[in-house]
């Protein structure tokens, strides 16, 4: 290795972007190719600073677009090494074509996706439109709720994606500004401990291994395409227990626990909120306050958006009578994506609570503890009545007349 | 490095074909295969190759078969250049980290794209790679049309050609725009070496490819690649079509070193009229109608002017 070690304190004050860049550095990524976009820019800037000061000995390429960033990552990964990049929103949209190609070639790249709204109108703040845009691209998708988790999950992304039975790219999702720009106390691992946890990159079908020429990115027709896609799907599905295993290993190392589905007071919860990202923590505060009033409130969040932990989620919802699915993306003429996932997960299980879809927080609009408490109150009515009061979907917190849809 | 292959010279290289096998489904007479085979055979170094979506890619890597006996990747239509730049960067990184030992010979990095992939959709990616100075060669297989998708115009399609998206009709003589001058554009990127080649002048072609491989930095080769299907000539006439292109000076063979030194590498003894080049290819058939004759005249005028311009630059060493 040709790089300087970095001395870190056991507790640092980092924002999410710093966490990402530190995770890239500690993973000793071989090639980072990137293009700046708010709010993920600082991941790349921090990494550039590490590179400029000798803390990184891989190649850092500032390309001319996000499409090129992912293209370079795919070429580099196929050549036989560890690659990573970061983006948001429009950058992610520009990358989408290559995201599919990367996953289809089973190349384990890591992408820090700092979630942001998609234009139009142009908006630099956080919602989950870009995460949803990538959901069928074949990437494993982890979701963090704060800066510490952004660091932990980005580190784990390398280990997960490169696992010999996975060999898939991984997106480490985090909320724009709320996570990416909020300085928080973070407990990083020492460089060596972090690197040893991830392990050396093990090359598979590397283009730079000239003893065995390899053809990447073939053309298929109906004769083989289905089998390729089936295997890719199987690898994604098969990743769930492997992710769980890696979470356990990480807990042994750090004491920090991650689960396929994260829960807060769900054991006896009768009303619950299911959400992604930073809203999880706000909702736990709301639930705690309601618990003091004797209301059996709980919060639940899939830690993985892909592969979706369908069974695990359904198991945790056995006792819930009413559930609100919180979607932070403009739904585009249907119910929200998370609502769809959850409803799909529950349809064939005995656990079928009354389900509401809340569209909220678009373009970075806050959701407060009080608003979440109101949502819990609505759920209590649903639970009491044993059926939905009002329509399935509500656009929560939008100015003007109340908007709600899908009445049964 | 195990068995060292015998260094090929100009005579022997064309008889060996270790890296691009015949088992492809390119049309009989397709110049793509001739050019690719000669590019790969022009070096003994290890090769990492990328191909853009297009005829070359769809005809040579149909699972479970491959024509490529070298490291090869296809990502998309526009990003063959960046794919190879990524691989080149990985090679650098792994050497710097000592994961590839310093005494391992350096491989060569080559990207292939059609004119659609090069002049149009992939232009930004190529420009980015050349601006960043990756050590790579980009070869454009210039058949002046989107062949793989059935003959649509590209910005390399010459004026007057009839294509499916710029068809000749009762009120149209076909393509309205003049072919983009990609070589000058690539030279203007500050590339250390750019050249035009054609498969009929294979010695010239191989020399230029070898110069390109010996050059450090991004090298651009524009290879005229006659397409039997879209130019509509018989499969055995590929070299004849190419001869007409270079002998009419429609496709002049020259190189530009470091953006400043222009060398004409082939001067036809008998310059053929552009009319003869056009008459050979049914895609220009309609130009011979009286109302379209002016396009042929305009074309000839442009070819003359370009040839004079190239000669002036060569003489002035600029
Ligand atoms: C983003 C995108 N747009 C369009 C296409 C469809 N497409 C595939 S190949 C091709 C034309 C290829 O033409 P060219 O690059 O000139 O190569 P040729 O087939 O002539 O060798 C087109 C339009 C595609 N694959 N990807
Ligand atoms: S259509 Fe043209 S370029 Fe494509 S394979 Fe046939 S001859 Fe070659």
CA pair distance B55, A326, nearest whole angstrom: 47
CA pair distance A356, A323, nearest whole angstrom: 6
Domain for residue B3, yes or no? no
DSSP H or E stretch at residue A177: none
Phi, psi of B24 (to 5 degrees): -125, 170
CA pair distance A199, A373, nearest whole angstrom: 44
Domain for residue B159, yes or no? yes
Q: Are B83 and B91 in contact (CB under 8 A)?
A: no
Chain A residue at shortest CA distance from B48: A207
Dihedral over alpha carbons A4, A5, A9, A14 (to 10 degrees): 60
- Kindly give the number of the ligand 1 atom that is closest to the alpha carbon of B53: 9
CA B68 / ligand 1 centre spacing (Å): 20
Q: Is the CB of B228 under 6 A from ligand 2?
A: yes
Nearest to B53 by CA among B77, B31, B72: B77
Nearest to A169 by CA among A112, A77, A228, A106: A106
pLDDT digits (tens, 9 = 90+) for B13-41: 555 557 998 789 999 999 999 999 999 99
Tokens 């070869």 -> residue: B139
B107 with A2: Cβ contact below 8 A: no
Write the residue with the smallest CA distance to atom 25 of ligand 1: B77
> Residue-wise pLDDT tens for chain A (408 aa)?
689 999 999 999 999 999 999 999 999 999 999 999 999 999 999 999 999 999 999 999 999 999 999 999 999 999 999 999 999 999 999 999 999 999 999 999 999 999 999 999 999 999 999 999 999 999 999 999 999 999 999 999 999 999 999 999 999 999 999 999 999 999 999 999 999 999 999 999 999 999 999 999 999 999 999 999 999 999 999 999 999 999 999 999 999 999 999 999 999 999 999 999 999 999 999 999 999 999 999 999 999 999 999 999 999 998 999 999 999 999 999 999 999 999 999 999 988 999 999 999 999 999 999 999 999 999 999 999 999 989 999 999 999 999 999 998
Token representation of residue A118: 């998609």
| Interface pTM, i.e. ipTM | 0.96
Mutation choice for A interface testing from B50, B63, B93, B106 by most A CBs within 10 A: B93
Q: Ligand 1: which residues within 6 Å by Cβ?
A: B 53-56, 77, 113-117, 141, 143, 145-149, 154
Domain with B171, as residue range(s), is 10-316
Token representation of residue A381: 């009515």
Q: Is the CB of B241 under 6 A from ligand 2?
A: no
Alpha-carbon distance values, B32 to A310, B36, B59, B87, B147 (Å)? 49, 6, 10, 24, 11
The gap between the terminal CA atoms of chain A, to the nearest Å, is 63
Return the pLDDT at B3: 46
CA pair distance A90, A8, nearest whole angstrom: 34
Domain for residue B2, yes or no? no
DSSP-assigned states of every residue in B146-174: BTTTTSB--TTSPTT---SSS-EETTEES
Domain for residue B4, yes or no? no
Among B residues 93-122, those touching chain A with beta carbons less than 8 Å apart = 93-94, 96-100, 107
Tokens 């990985």 -> residue: B90
Token representation of residue B214: 């010996």
pLDDT digits (tens, 9 = 90+) for B153-165: 999 999 999 999 9
Q: Are A103 and A76 in contact (CB under 8 A)?
A: no
B62 with A221: Cβ contact below 8 A: yes
Mean pLDDT score of chain A, rounded to an integer?
97
B125 with A71: Cβ contact below 8 A: yes
Structural domains of chain A, with CATH: 12-254 (3.40.50.970), 262-405 (3.40.50.920)
Return the pLDDT at A408: 85
Spatial CB neighbours of A158, under 8 Å, sequence gap ≥ 6: A27, A29, A82, A84, A108, A110, A170, A198
Q: What is the domain count for chain B? A: 1
CA pair distance A117, A329, nearest whole angstrom: 8
pLDDT digits (tens, 9 = 90+) for A238-252: 999 999 999 999 999
Nearest to B228 by CA among B154, B169, B282: B282
Q: Are A19 and A154 in contact (CB under 8 A)?
A: yes
Token representation of residue B149: 């998708």
CA pair distance B66, B139, nearest whole angstrom: 20
B150-171 b/e with 16+ CB inside 10 Å = b? ebbbbbbbbbbbbbeebebeee
Q: Are B210 and B275 in contact (CB under 8 A)?
A: no
Domain for residue B152, yes or no? yes
Alpha-carbon distance values, A112 to A139, A142, A150, A156, A174 (Å)? 12, 10, 9, 12, 8
Smallest CA–CA distance, residue B273 to chain A, in Å, is 42
CA B233 / ligand 2 centre spacing (Å): 11
Count of C-beta atoms within a 10 Å radius of residue B285: 14
CA B52 / ligand 1 centre spacing (Å): 8
The gap between the terminal CA atoms of chain B, to the nearest Å, is 42
Residue B81's pLDDT band (boundaries 50, 70, 90)? very high
Residue B1's pLDDT band (boundaries 50, 70, 90)? very low
Query: CA-based Rg of chain B, rounded to a whole angstrom?
Result: 19
Spatial CB neighbours of A195, under 8 Å, sequence gap ≥ 6: A26, A27, A28
CA pair distance B132, B217, nearest whole angstrom: 9
Return the pLDDT at B8: 56
CA B115 / ligand 1 centre spacing (Å): 9
| CATH of residue B96 | 3.40.50.970
Tokens 């959701």 -> residue: A367
Q: Are A53 and A27 in contact (CB under 8 A)?
A: no
């Amino acid at each position: 290795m040709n790089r300087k070690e970095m001395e870190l304190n056991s507790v640092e004050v980092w924002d999410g972007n710093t966490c990402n860049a530190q995770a890239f550095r500690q993973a000793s990524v071989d090639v980072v190719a990137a293009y700046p976009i708010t709010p993920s820019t600082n991941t790349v800037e921090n990494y550039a600073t590490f590179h400029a000061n000798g803390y990184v000995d891989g190649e850092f390429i500032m390309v001319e677009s996000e499409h090129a960033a992912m293209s370079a990552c795919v070429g580099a990964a196929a050549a036989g090494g560890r690659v990573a990049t970061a983006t948001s929103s429009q950058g992610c949209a520009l990358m989408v074509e290559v995201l599919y190609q990367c996953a289809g070639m089973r190349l384990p790249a890591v992408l820090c996706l700092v979630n942001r709204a998609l234009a139009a109108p142009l908006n630099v703040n956080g919602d989950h439109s870009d995460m949803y845009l990538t959901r069928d691209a074949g990437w494993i998708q982890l979701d963090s709720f704060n800066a510490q988790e952004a660091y932990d999950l980005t580190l784990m992304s390398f280990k997960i994606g490169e696992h010999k039975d996975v060999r898939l790219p991984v997106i480490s999702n985090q909320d724009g500004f709320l996570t990416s720009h909020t300085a928080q106390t973070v407990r990083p691992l020492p460089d060596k401990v972090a690197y040893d946890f991830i392990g050396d990159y093990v090359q598979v079908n590397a283009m730079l291994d000239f003893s065995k020429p390899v053809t990447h990115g073939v053309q298929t027709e109906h004769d083989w395409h289905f089998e390729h896609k089936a295997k890719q799907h199987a690898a994604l599905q098969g990743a769930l227990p492997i992710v769980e295993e890696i979470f356990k290993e990480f807990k042994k190392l750090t004491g920090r626990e991650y689960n396929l589905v994260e829960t807060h007071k769900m054991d006896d919860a009768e009303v619950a909120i299911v959400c992604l990202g930073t809203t999880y923590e706000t909702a736990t505060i709301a639930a705690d306050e309601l618990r003091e009033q004797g209301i059996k409130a709980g919060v639940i969040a899939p830690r993985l958006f892909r592969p979706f932990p369908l069974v695990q989620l359904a198991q945790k919802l056995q006792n819930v009578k009413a559930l609100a699915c919180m979607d932070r993306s403009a739904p585009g003429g249907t119910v929200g994506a998370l609502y769809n996932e959850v409803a799909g997960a529950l349809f064939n299980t005995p656990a079928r609570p009354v389900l509401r879809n809340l569209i909220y927080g678009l373009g970075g609009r806050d959701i407060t503890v009080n608003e979440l408490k109101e949502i819990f109150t609505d759920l209590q009515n649903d639970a009491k009545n044993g059926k939905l009061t009002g329509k399935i979907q509500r656009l929560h917190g939008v100015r003007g007349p109340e908007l709600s849809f899908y009445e049964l | 490095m195990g068995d060292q292959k015998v260094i090929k010279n100009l005579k022997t290289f064309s008889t060996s074909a270790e890296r691009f096998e015949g088992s492809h489904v390119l049309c009989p007479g397709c110049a793509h295969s001739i050019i690719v085979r000669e590019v790969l055979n022009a070096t003994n170094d290890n090769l990492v190759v990328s191909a853009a979506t297009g005829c070359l890619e769809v005809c040579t890597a149909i699972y479970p078969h491959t024509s490529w006996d070298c490291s090869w990747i296809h990502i998309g239509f526009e990003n063959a250049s960046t794919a190879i730049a990524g691989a080149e960067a990985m090679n650098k990184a792994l050497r710097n980290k000592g994961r590839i030992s310093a005494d391992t010979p350096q491989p060569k990095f080559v990207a292939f794209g059609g004119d659609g992939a090069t002049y149009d959709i992939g232009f930004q990616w190529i420009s980015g790679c050349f601006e960043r100075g990756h050590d790579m060669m980009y070869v454009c297989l210039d058949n002046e049309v989107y062949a793989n998708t059935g003959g649509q115009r590209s910005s390399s399609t010459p004026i007057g050609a009839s294509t499916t998206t710029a068809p000749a009709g009762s009120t149209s003589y076909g393509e309205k725009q003049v072919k983009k001058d990609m070589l000058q554009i690539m030279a203007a990127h500050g590339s250390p070496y750019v050249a035009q080649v054609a498969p009929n002048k294979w010695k010239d072609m191989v020399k230029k490819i070898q110069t390109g491989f010996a050059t450090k930095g991004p090298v651009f080769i524009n290879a005229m690649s006659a397409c039997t299907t879209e130019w509509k000539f018989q499969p055995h006439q590929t070299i004849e079509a190419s001869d007409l292109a270079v002998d009419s000076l429609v496709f002049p063979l020259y190189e530009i070193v470091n953006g400043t030194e222009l060398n004409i590498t082939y001067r036809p003894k008998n310059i053929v009229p552009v009319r003869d080049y056009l008459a050979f290819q049914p895609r220009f058939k309609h130009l011979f109608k009286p109302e379209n004759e002016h396009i042929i005249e305009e074309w000839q005028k442009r070819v003359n002017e370009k040839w004079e311009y190239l000669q002036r630059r060569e003489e002035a060493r600029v």
